[in-house]
Chain A
Amino acid sequence: MKEPVLTSRRLCKRYGSFTAVDVLSFDVYPGEIFGLLGPNGAGKTSTIRILMDIFKADSGEVEIFGSPPGEGRERVGYLPEERGLYRDQRLLEVLVYLGRLKGAAKETAEKRALAWLERVGLEEWTGKRIRELSRGMQQKAQLAACLIHDPELLILDEPFQSLDPVNVEQIKELMRSLVADGKTIVLSAHQMNLVEELCDRILLINEGRSVLYGPLKQIKRDYAPNSVRVRAAGLPQDLPGVVRCERNGEAALLTLEGVDAQEVLAALVERGVQVESFERATVPLNDIFVALVQGDGTERN
């Protein structure tokens, strides 16, 4: 496996008697979209602020590109949850300023700002003041601001917040293209369907602690009920190990006990059943999230 671009080891952050981040360890690998999930107040923002060197950790270690947080700021792009832009200033002027703070030369920052504004569909708004832009436009401008210095790692905290479906699609596409270009993304979001669509691996935290960490496919498989979805004509009633069958036309959800999906498929083939589709049933990430957050958060890798 490649070397991680971001490593967190036993990270802790306390505010008085309140523990916001509690012995948190995780890795983020190059070229992946890593989901940092958790309910409100779980410690996501505190974790992200430590990664960005805005807060200092009480204990534990963080390395980004092999260095402590803050040493490679120009290699990281950050879209915070609490975000905004200078309302009375013009869009291009703001982006160039933020790009220059990230180390880009003025001409480069201006060139990239124009390119990103074109890419997110704001090329005609460059001379407008921020306050004249709609909320969705401001959101896209903020995303452009965190990309202007061509970072290798992006930390996006709730990037889909208050976006309409069209803009959500646009941002999703943008994220996919960035990953295709070799960028790494840490995504914090509440929309589980989007996380499922985009993320390769996730870390779910609750009350500052890790409760779920690993590849998304693996997690969904681990949490999936032992059941399969089958679409086939003349599905037999007496398949071994099938304890329940919920039919919906030619499709059926079979609940298994004591057998695995492979054995059921083999039995169907053996009996000469014409199988149109056969898949392991999964549980939505949202259900896993709710179940874990409402239940006792014990880490599963």
Chain B
Amino acid sequence: MGWTWLQSNSLEGELNRVLIIGWHEYKVNVRRLDFIIFTSLVPLLGLIGLLVTLFFGRQAGGALVRMFDSGPEVTAVVDQSGRVTPVLSQFAEAYAAYDDEAAARAALEAEEAQRVVVVPAGYPQAGDVKVITADSRFSGAATAGLRTFFITHLVQEIEDGALRARLIDPFDAQIEYIGERGRASGGVAGEVLSFLVPFVFSILLAVTVFVSSGYLVRSVAEEKSSRVIEIVLSSVTPQQLLAGKVLGLGALGLTQIAVWIASATGFGGGLAVLAGVILPFFTRMEVFGLALVYYILGFGVYAVLIGAIGAMGSNYQESQQITGIVIFIAAIPMMLTGVIMTNPDAMLVRAMSWFPLTAPTTMMLRLPLAEPPLLDIVISIAGLLAAIPLVVWFGAKMFRLGMLMYGKRPGVLEIVRLLRHA
């Protein structure tokens, strides 16, 4: 079986060889130019952002604002009720009073205003107002703005300043969750970050699984094409070689993530770090911990399968092609991110969480969105733990066969036949 090396008399020596291979793989790949470039990409983008903020500050911000905002919108107000004019000074930029509707319409046509609001004489009783707009920009922020405009003018007659203020802005919710230990606090920003950061982290983990598996395919293909593999296999078993590679390249993936997190922390600075990066991790430790568990188990399954199937190719390109099927299956949850985000507990999503080949990515995406049922966590982890020995057994057999197979790529039937003799 695939774990016979674990049953060897000299367990220490056998494990030592796995560690030597793991360290060798790590050391060789961590120095590769493409790894350095890919790993540096996130810190580099952070650095660029930091430099832009430091040196261009307002100019850059202003440029962005101008890019997305063509200027303040003006509402022409025709007040036949006399309740919202004269326009208060704080609204002077966004609201202009007109004597009649015709003049306001002319301003609209001349693009001096973006909409016209006619307040009829019977407004205090009926509450109806007429809005004439040039385009569809009368929703969301515009509606909220107009509401504030009306309330502010209507409450001017109330003498109590505090009451006036409360009528304009009735409450500022300070949320405290009871019974949900570790939930983020700190208003809307904290809530968003507490979801966003673990979610992005989960996606990064999932991406790293594929990237590290790619390194594994390349490592196997290179050992095959350089013909060093037979020398190596005279010293260690295929299982040890595969285990060492999985270990070394899994650690390589974790290094990549560590660099990304460290750089995000470094560039974030001060309060932003606490609020944006560190806080969500500490406030939702269970997400962080479980994501890491799924990363390790998922990498174990994917990397062994990808390494073993990749060994069948006669060169790197061919190995990449034939491992595509495993990567495709594992990436299905990422393609269904929309479904998972909309309904993290949908039956389809739960089923994907139970299937070992889709469980790691599905669960990594589900965890930050909601608290998945304990049953799903147990089934997915148990399934992965049960699948790993099977995958290692099958993978090692395939790896042993594939590593010494040169020349033309065998067909599926031939592989099945050869596996019986491996």
Contacts and interface: CB of A to CB of B under 8 A. Distances in A.
Interface of A: 14-16, 49, 52-56, 58, 70, 73, 76, 78-80, 82-87, 89, 97-98, 100-103, 142, 145-146
Interface of B: 13, 17, 20-21, 24, 28, 222-223, 226-228, 230-237, 400, 404, 406, 417-418, 421-422
20 contacts: A16-B418, A52-B233, A54-B400, A73-B234, A79-B231, A80-B234, A82-B227, A83-B227, A84-B228, A86-B28, A86-B226, A97-B24, A98-B231, A101-B17, A101-B20, A101-B236, A102-B235, A103-B17, A146-B231, A146-B234
A146 B24 CA distance: 18
Contacts of A15: 418, 421
B421 A73 contact: no
A16 B237 CA distance: 24
Contacts of A14: 421
Contacts of A98: 231-232, 235
Nearest to A56: B422
A101 B232 contact: yes
A67 B171 CA distance: 82
Contact of A16 (B20, B404, B417): B417
Contacts of A100: 20
Contacts of B234: 52, 54, 73, 76, 78, 80, 146
Q: Name the prevailing secondary structure of the A interface residues.
A: loop
A84 B233 CA distance: 13
Contacts of A76: 234
Contacts of A80: 227, 230-231, 234
A87 B235 contact: no
A53 B235 contact: no
Contacts of A102: 235
A89 B219 CA distance: 13
Given A15-B418, A16-B417, A82 B230 contact: yes
A97 B232 CA distance: 10
A83 B223 CA distance: 10
Q: Across chains A and B, which 4 residue pairs bring their CB atoms closest together, nearest first?
A: A84-B227, A78-B234, A101-B235, A80-B230
A97 B17 CA distance: 10
A54 B231 contact: no
A84 B223 CA distance: 9
Tell me the dominant secondary structure on chain B's binding face. helix
Residue in A53, A100, A102 whose Cβ sees the most chain B Cβ within 10 Å: A100
A260 to B, nearest CB: 47
A84 B226 contact: yes
Nearest to B21: A101
A57 to B, nearest CB: 11
Given A83-B228, A86-B222, A100-B20, 10 more contacts: A16-B418, A54-B234, A73-B236, A83-B231, A85-B226, A85-B228, A85-B231, A86-B223, A98-B232, A103-B13
Contact of B406 (A79, A82, A87): A82
B120 to A, nearest CB: 81
Given A78-B231, A82-B406, A87-B226, A97 B20 contact: yes
Contacts of B236: 73, 101
B28 A89 contact: yes
B231 A53 contact: no
A54 B235 contact: no
Nearest to B226: A84
Contacts of A97: 20, 24
Contacts of B223: 86
A133 to B, nearest CB: 13
B198 to A, nearest CB: 38
A238 B163 CA distance: 146
A83 B230 contact: yes
Contacts of B400: 54
B404 A54 contact: yes
B272 to A, nearest CB: 41
Contacts of B20: 97, 100-101
A49 B226 contact: no
B417 to A, nearest CB: 6
Given A14-B421, A82-B406, A101-B236, A54 B230 contact: yes
B133 to A, nearest CB: 66
Contacts of A79: 231
A120 to B, nearest CB: 16
Contacts of A84: 226-228
B230 to A, nearest CB: 4
Contacts of B13: 103
A98 B233 CA distance: 10
